[in-house]
Chain A
């Protein structure tokens, strides 16, 4: 049982790194990038790399909230329609209020939807899949009703400065994404709340018996997820200057796929923010590469779907080997 204790050698440290799932996913992302740079000479240009980052912003923000939810063992199917609904709220509010207030309305609305879902799930013990499925339908329906079935296009063009400002040579939206990931990583790694979220997903009974605040930290991820869906759509609207009730359609699937590619377990307790970031980049790179190669958008679904499944299959086979 007790082996002779030995100092952690360099070999062992290296082994520990390679055993980490993120490491293997970084490898996968690099392989993908190299393959894409061979397939399309344009891929590795600075412009296109910024393009990839720019395209990662919206899905990347939503995936942060999704990571929080999935870590607790739940799922949030409503993020796409919450994005649509809060986009419409933003589009309407910006007609009457200054932009910061309008954004506050949208983010508050998203957080409110998350609060309702989270409360229903944590207090009544309802299945997160079903509750957020219901919220998904309600959100989309309200988005149509509030918008009068058409996209709101008279968004003040000043809003585009949210996206098209460069700070130290980095576009503001990419910078925001970076800061958000840093904050989320810090929260999940170094705070009571973050560790409680992991503990709930890993073993809720044990977390409760140890005196952790299971209820509060079961609701919080849904609030964060809803609020971040609104933040994501804010950046999207700033880019296209239009609030479409259809916006965010199928966004939840992209976000879930990114989190899962990043190594999170849908049963909760396992996953990381770094993994999610890599998952997002892999998804966006694939899409970007296929566009560069001029492959029909109709084929892109098949390609992305296959890559998700193959990545997970390889991961499951490899991790079974490593575990032995």
Chain B
């Protein structure tokens, strides 16, 4: 696929041509292209995992590509580090900010200069800081002498932007900049971005929020599965449904065309969640799962799915809502309570939330048992038979495995062991957050069949996944969570990728969404 710049008269300020990047066995980028002009805001779009973030990181020097070329102002550019990128005037404003919380605003803005020789003149730092804020139209909005730790998310972002200007950045990437902002803060950000554009900078706007893309960008590039599928298309000639269609990859079927017939189900409800609220991420989430059912929790990254699961499991305080297991109301204040009630939870981040690195595989496997065990000793022996048969059914070699270090094994193997940890306790409800994250394709399918087996034994399985295809293939029913609300609850037979994408989009404006639904229905 060749990048086609519609207006050949204007020389591109920056081009990324044919970028490839593979992490382990996952192809993150396969022929990604991007062209940027000076004085434009360029939307970079794509579904979860399309490669937007990786491409942003390639351009900002965080990730070194396997193949492909970067061209900056007509010259080939090789970036070995973020410092290289900064020196060339390329900066990125990320969600997780790169600020030093205990230094002041002024020190943070000019952090790249602290490494230089010579004495630091604070009065000149303040003067230049004010000047930078003035170019952003934010003079006096931000005290320069207070520590960054005390700032709000929006203010920190402003510091990041000022920092980018402090190194004379001409190309600034905004990675999901509106995710944690209120509507008025978004307006202010867009005002700043417009000013930067009018000063001749090239801005990249990475976002899931289509309304915002239409509001602020001049052109858009759409990525799908690591590839650029729509290059530098003028935004105002696109419709929202065209954009979604490009992101998803095939034509949209009408959302109302399929009958809403649900398969009659009579299994008892295993887990029922009503009006769950755990601020700030979870606002109102309700769903229920039957015994033997696999329920998918879908939505975009940051929609509040993981937080909802953690709140249900007692890892996060809840503000409101009721949780019942098999009809009995439970109120887990800590994971031990949830486990006692019959829940198990495989958290998203294996390394930080699941694996105990200094303990052997066997002890990792028996960790939940240890928590539930009542005696003074270990009670490991009482589980020996169960462990042996469990490992056999998982296809794991017990003799080679049990004494080894957990970290020596592949992601898929680790994940199976963590799932087995909960199976030992025979839970009624098992919640899994991104169970195939970092798992190679071969092991993925065996995890899917494992989850189906678990469900077939009558366990209610809840799977959180950002991979819509996985969600559709695995679950019987899908609940979509968007901006902290559960917005849809449909059998997955009635859903497909584009409908999920549509439902998952943050609904900043209900009216616009209804309009979009009607428009889709007409097609």
Hey, which bits of chain A sit against chain B, CB under 8 A? 1-3, 5-8, 190-193, 195-196, 198-199, 201-203, 205-213, 269-270
A208 touches B359 (CB 8 A): no
B378 touches A206 (CB 8 A): no
Q: How far is the CA of A270 from the CA of B356 in the complex (A)?
A: 11
A211 touches B336 (CB 8 A): yes
A210 touches B359 (CB 8 A): no
Known: A199-B356, A202-B356, A213-B336. A208 touches B397 (CB 8 A): no
Contact residue among A1, A195, A203, A210 (Cβ-Cβ distance under 8 Å from B378) = A195
Question: Smallest distance from the beta carbon of A255 to chain B beta carbons, Å?
Answer: 21
Q: How far is the CA of A192 from the CA of B339 in the complex (A)?
A: 17
Query: Which of chain B's residues 367-405 have a Cβ closer than 8 Å to chain A?
Result: 367-368, 370-373, 375-379, 397, 399-400
Hey, which bits of chain B sit against chain A, CB under 8 A? 313, 315, 334-336, 338-340, 345, 347, 352-359, 363, 367-368, 370-373, 375-379, 397, 399-400, 409-410, 412-413, 421
Which residue of chain A lies nearest to B354 when distances are taken between CB atoms in the complex?
A206
Which residue of chain A lies nearest to B401 when distances are taken between CB atoms in the complex?
A5
B358 touches A269 (CB 8 A): yes
Contact residue among A3, A192, A202 (Cβ-Cβ distance under 8 Å from B370) = A192
Q: How far is the CA of A199 from the CA of B338 in the complex (A)?
A: 20
Residues of A within 8 A of B377 (CB): 190-192
Residues of B within 8 A of A211 (CB): 335-336, 338-340, 368, 371-372
Q: How far is the CA of A193 from the CA of B376 in the complex (A)?
A: 7
A1 touches B413 (CB 8 A): yes
Residues of A within 8 A of B358 (CB): 198, 201-202, 269-270
Residues of A within 8 A of B372 (CB): 211
A203 touches B355 (CB 8 A): yes
A-B pairs, 3 with minimum CB distance: A211-B371, A269-B358, A202-B358
A192 touches B347 (CB 8 A): no
Which residue of chain B lies nearest to A269 when distances are taken between CB atoms in the complex?
B358
Q: How far is the CA of A209 from the CA of B433 in the complex (A)?
A: 13
Interface contact tally, CB-CB below 8 A? 91
B315 touches A209 (CB 8 A): yes
Q: How far is the CA of A213 from the CA of B339 in the complex (A)?
A: 12
Known: A199-B367, A203-B355. A208 touches B315 (CB 8 A): yes
B371 touches A202 (CB 8 A): no
Residues of B within 8 A of A213 (CB): 336, 371
Residues of A within 8 A of B353 (CB): 205-206, 209
A191 touches B378 (CB 8 A): yes
Q: How far is the CA of A191 from the CA of B29 in the complex (A)?
A: 49
Q: How far is the CA of A14 from the CA of B278 in the complex (A)?
A: 53
Known: A206-B367, A207-B367, A208-B334. A192 touches B378 (CB 8 A): yes
A195 touches B363 (CB 8 A): yes
Question: Smallest distance from the beta carbon of B220 to chain A beta carbons, Å?
Answer: 39
- Could you name 25 residue pairs across A and B whose Cβ atoms are closer than 8 Å? A1-B409, A1-B412, A5-B399, A5-B400, A6-B400, A190-B377, A192-B370, A192-B373, A198-B358, A199-B356, A199-B359, A199-B367, A201-B358, A202-B356, A202-B357, A202-B358, A203-B355, A205-B352, A206-B367, A207-B367, A208-B315, A210-B367, A212-B336, A213-B336, A269-B358
Most chain B beta carbons < 10 A, residue from A2, A191, A193, A209 = A209
Contact residue among B335, B357, B397, B410 (Cβ-Cβ distance under 8 Å from A210) = B335
Which residue of chain B lies nearest to A209 when distances are taken between CB atoms in the complex?
B335
Given A1-B412, A209-B345, A209-B353, 9 new contacts (CB under 8 A): A192-B370, A193-B376, A202-B358, A205-B353, A211-B335, A212-B367, A212-B370, A212-B371, A213-B371
Most chain B beta carbons < 10 A, residue from A2, A8, A192 = A192
Residues of A within 8 A of B338 (CB): 211
Which residue of chain A lies nearest to B352 when distances are taken between CB atoms in the complex?
A205
Residues of A within 8 A of B379 (CB): 192
Residues of A within 8 A of B397 (CB): 2, 5
Q: How far is the CA of A199 from the CA of B377 in the complex (A)?
A: 15
Known: A191-B378, A192-B377. A206 touches B355 (CB 8 A): yes
Residues of B within 8 A of A3 (CB): 400
Residues of B within 8 A of A5 (CB): 397, 399-400
A269 touches B357 (CB 8 A): yes
Contact residue among A2, A191, A206 (Cβ-Cβ distance under 8 Å from B356) = A206
Residues of A within 8 A of B334 (CB): 208
Residues of A within 8 A of B359 (CB): 195, 198-199, 202
A210 touches B347 (CB 8 A): no
Most chain A beta carbons < 10 A, residue from B347, B367, B378, B412 = B367
Known: A199-B367, A203-B355. A190 touches B335 (CB 8 A): no
Q: How far is the CA of A224 from the CA of B303 in the complex (A)?
A: 45
Q: How far is the CA of A39 from the CA of B356 in the complex (A)?
A: 45
Residues of B within 8 A of A209 (CB): 313, 315, 335, 345, 347, 353-354
Q: How far is the CA of A199 from the CA of B413 in the complex (A)?
A: 20
A207 touches B409 (CB 8 A): no
Question: Smallest distance from the beta carbon of A267 to chain B beta carbons, Å?
Answer: 10
Question: Smallest distance from the beta carbon of A8 to chain B beta carbons, Å?
Answer: 8
Q: How far is the CA of A212 from the CA of B334 in the complex (A)?
A: 10
Most chain B beta carbons < 10 A, residue from A196, A210, A213 = A210
Residues of A within 8 A of B373 (CB): 192
Residues of B within 8 A of A193 (CB): 376
Which residue of chain A lies nearest to B353 when distances are taken between CB atoms in the complex?
A205
Residues of A within 8 A of B363 (CB): 195, 199
Q: How far is the CA of A208 from the CA of B352 in the complex (A)?
A: 12
Residues of A within 8 A of B367 (CB): 199, 206-207, 210, 212
B368 touches A210 (CB 8 A): yes
Q: How far is the CA of A206 from the CA of B355 in the complex (A)?
A: 6
A207 touches B410 (CB 8 A): no
Q: How far is the CA of A246 from the CA of B63 in the complex (A)?
A: 58
Which residue of chain B lies nearest to A205 when distances are taken between CB atoms in the complex?
B353
Which residue of chain A lies nearest to B372 when distances are taken between CB atoms in the complex?
A211
Q: How far is the CA of A203 from the CA of B339 in the complex (A)?
A: 19
Which residue of chain B lies nearest to A8 when distances are taken between CB atoms in the complex?
B399
Q: How far is the CA of A191 from the CA of B358 in the complex (A)?
A: 17
Question: Smallest distance from the beta carbon of B160 to chain A beta carbons, Å?
Answer: 28
Q: How far is the CA of A267 from the CA of B409 in the complex (A)?
A: 23
Residues of A within 8 A of B336 (CB): 211-213
B409 touches A203 (CB 8 A): no
Q: How far is the CA of A191 from the CA of B379 in the complex (A)?
A: 9
Which residue of chain A lies nearest to B442 when distances are taken between CB atoms in the complex?
A1
B413 touches A191 (CB 8 A): no
Q: How far is the CA of A258 from the CA of B356 in the complex (A)?
A: 25
Q: How far is the CA of A1 from the CA of B396 in the complex (A)?
A: 11
Q: How far is the CA of A2 from the CA of B409 in the complex (A)?
A: 9
Which residue of chain B lies nearest to A3 when distances are taken between CB atoms in the complex?
B400
Q: How far is the CA of A46 from the CA of B519 in the complex (A)?
A: 95
Q: How far is the CA of A203 from the CA of B397 in the complex (A)?
A: 25
Question: Smallest distance from the beta carbon of B346 to chain A beta carbons, Å?
Answer: 9
